[in-house]
Amino acid sequence: MTEIFGVLNVTPDSFSDGGEHYALDEALRHARRLAELGADWIDVGGESTAPGVAEITAEEERRRILPVIRELAAEGIRVSVDTFHASTAAAAIDAGAALVNDVYGRDPDMPAVVRASGARYLIMHSFGAPTTPAHYADVVADVAGELARRIEQLVAQGVEPSKLAVDPGLGFSKQPAENWALIEGLADIVALGHPVLVGASRKRFVKALVGPEREDLDAATAAISLRAAQLGAWAVRVHEVRASRAALDVHEAMLGRATQPATGVHG
């Protein structure tokens, strides 16, 4: 079954929810609600990757997220930490996070952190900030090739292959048509042999198609979640869990129906 990562931005400047869950009590309330609605993981981030937002220090990032991670992990909720700082990843793992979601892969100490901790490590395809220009001869083949090279490097550095997962990096240095091509070409990313996460929720290329209203964005995200599941995705990362959970439950029901013998009873 395709899993759901519910997004928890403990930031004042996220592109999608602009500080709604910045305070500790509100962050915990929202995380619990995401879990109740069917999130398998809560992906906790303390730094916005929205275009134009200034980076914060790793110390400030940890101040924002560690109390949240400790509390959620103590409640038995599976937590991933969305960070590109190895020091934050190490502290988050100590606090109970089981997976590091690294959007940039630029901290040279990160492989040692995940190797020593045994945490799962999700690597995303990107060329820096989301708006960094990039040219692709064939976006699906190019992204798959870059991810394959990164996996090879990490394994050479001692990271256990079974701990690695990949993300094609929708919206990061990619034009709208390239993002849609990556979704439809997801099977080529799955063929790398590692779990694949798809993160399209509320991104600009989706907004360009359906408009800025959250209800429309979340409905479109649910459609992408369904398509990702059909193409073999291990997980999707979403802001609004309910619609994607329903879409994925329908997908599972249809798969189950296809394997059940006909009974002749309507219902």
Distances (CA, A) of 1 to 120, 172, 255: 18, 26, 10
Active site residue 203: yes
DSSP characters over 214-233: HHHHHHHHHHHHHHHHHTT-
Phi/psi of residue 138, each to 5°?
Answer: -150, 105
Q: Find the length of the chain.
A: 267
Phi/psi of residue 197, each to 5°?
Answer: -105, 140
Distance CA 151, CA 154 (A): 5
Q: What is the CA radius of gyration of the chain?
A: 18
Would you call 256 helix, strand, or coil by DSSP? helix
Phi/psi of residue 127, each to 5°?
Answer: -120, 50
Nearest to 119 by CA among 67, 143, 154: 154
Q: Which residues pair with 238 in a beta bridge?
A: 6
Per DSSP (E only), the strands in 106-163 are 120-124
Q: Which two tokens stand for residue 129?
A: 């900030």
Which residue out of 203, 204, 214, 227 is catalytically annotated? 203
Residue 254, judged by CB atoms within 10 A of its CB (0-12, 13-18, 19+), counts as exposed
Per DSSP (E only), the strands in the chain are 3-9, 41-45, 79-82, 99-102, 120-124, 164-167, 197-198, 235-238
Which residue out of 62, 78, 120, 237 is catalytically annotated? 237
Active site residue 115: no
**Could you give the residue numbers annotated as active site?**
203, 237
